[in-house]
A and B are shown apart, each in its own frame.
Chain A
């Protein structure tokens, strides 16, 4: 298992649009992604004004099928499902965003330090990256979440500390190619401290790449949050799309006709959000990552 081969492939796994460059403008992929995100962000921001009902209040009978009054029907306690899903945008996007912030902060710092200092620091940090990549992440996440207890910030923390490894690897590679350039040598010769070189000269060079990685991490985080909530380890005070599906599962919605409005829509929304981030991220990475450009 050659090291170079592994990292090349992992990057390939993150950039399946690579060969698209021959024929199709990446712009259109990114545009679709951005459009999906814009719609979701707008729905989340405007939630209090566009929802037909308060999702916390019983406004109909339990298990009502879609009707004029309740466009997507009601759940097991008679709450309006459409309103629940619109408010769910807020939770899913917020957790995805914040978890990605945590992951990228860790990933950028570790990638920069490993790439800049090299030697045993690099070797040690990259072994750490390998460890995180090999450990089966969902069992580990369940373990951590069960111990820490399900809460908004704990979920963000748990996702963040498990998603940083891939960004760290990509950013390290970028730093390696940056530090071979003359202006870093010049700064070093002028007596700049490593901290100053990293902040003033290396960081600006990796920021754009961090942004692309950030968006991919957010897409990952949304999917993980949905899984955690579905397994009953989500934030108990808020209803995300994953927890809507959790209740649908607990009440065996898939055994009756209710699945068509109780199970189908939240899953489609999760897919749309993940895909929106993924498309945007891949298009950005493709444009920004010099290792993928030819």
Chain B
């Protein structure tokens, strides 16, 4: 039944959310020393006893743990993720100003990597066991073993600093005051190298799944039936096999999202690209705990939302889920 599918998924995502929220709540309180250091910053050491006590009760730290948790959840529900130690601004504000860059980078590269991975995987499965297939497999494994941040550094060295074809850092030319098509071109120009890096390291996963999935489907009996009926090999591949082989790819598309966001973290760091990944890195350097926790929370929520979107689409493309009982 369809509702059971959604119920199971709902429970799973609720658990992930619970895990992220509880971890964020527990970490500052579990560490040795005063939790104030993690909640209000290092300045706590310079405060008077009275100031510290006031802050202590302001964060609700003098109440029982379950009350603290309730207060924490209440704040979270109102969109309060605390204040940045470094900038003093609300964490939510900082994250929202960075979110669009990561969505742009991750969104486009996920799309590109999937399309390329599907095409490449199909080509390899078509020539299974032949030189093209084996070379593809080797290439995919090599690419998957390459550290993405290193690839990013090499790209900058060769194409940005070396040839000067692309900018070395950032998401747009600072202070250029561009607008309209010129602005779009500027943003796209800055996006090329980070996008190429992230797409390259994402392709192998998609390629391997597509190839494996297609080979599995090609071994099924309905394919033999089609073949014995005299259906052309090309038609078997594109009309009969690919349709079913694409199903697991759509699943992995979403499962990979967590990995891709992780890849984006290091790549954005190398390119000084102002997304959430770079924000994480800056927060780690400054030990800005509220920003670190807030970003982790928002990234987790985004991954869950993307998964839910995929789940809503899935019954539309897989009739077995739609009609299962």
* Interface residues in chain A, defined as those with a beta carbon under 8 Å from any beta carbon in chain B: 1-2, 5-6, 8-10, 12-13, 15-20, 22-24, 127, 130-131, 133-140, 142-143, 145-147, 219, 223, 226-227, 230-233, 242, 245, 248-249, 253-256, 259, 263-264, 266-267, 270-271, 274-275, 278-279
Contacts and interface: CB of A to CB of B under 8 A. Distances in A.
10 contacts: A1-B311, A5-B247, A6-B255, A16-B212, A134-B12, A139-B299, A145-B284, A147-B28, A231-B269, A279-B141
Contacts of A271: 142, 145-147, 150
A138 B201 CA distance: 15
A237 to B, nearest CB: 18
Interface of B: 5, 9, 11-13, 15-16, 19-20, 23, 27-28, 31, 38, 125, 128-129, 133-134, 137, 140-142, 144-147, 149-151, 153-154, 156-157, 161, 168, 205, 208-209, 211-213, 215-216, 247-248, 251-252, 254-255, 257-259, 261-263, 265-266, 269-270, 280-281, 283-285, 287, 289, 292-293, 295-296, 299-300, 303-304, 307, 310-311, 314, 318, 320-321
Q: Which of A139, A146, A248 has the most CB of B within 10 A?
A: A139
Contact of B16 (A15, A22, A131): A131
Contacts, number: 211
Q: Would you call the interface of chain A mostly helix, strand, loop, or mixed?
A: helix
Contacts of B137: 16-17, 20
Closest 5 CB pairs of A and B: A138-B262, A267-B150, A12-B212, A23-B129, A254-B157
A259 B129 contact: no
Given A138-B261, A142-B292, A255-B156, 12 more contacts: A5-B248, A12-B209, A12-B213, A13-B205, A16-B141, A17-B137, A138-B266, A139-B296, A139-B300, A143-B296, A147-B289, A259-B153
A19 B128 contact: yes
A64 to B, nearest CB: 18
B212 to A, nearest CB: 4
A254 B129 contact: no
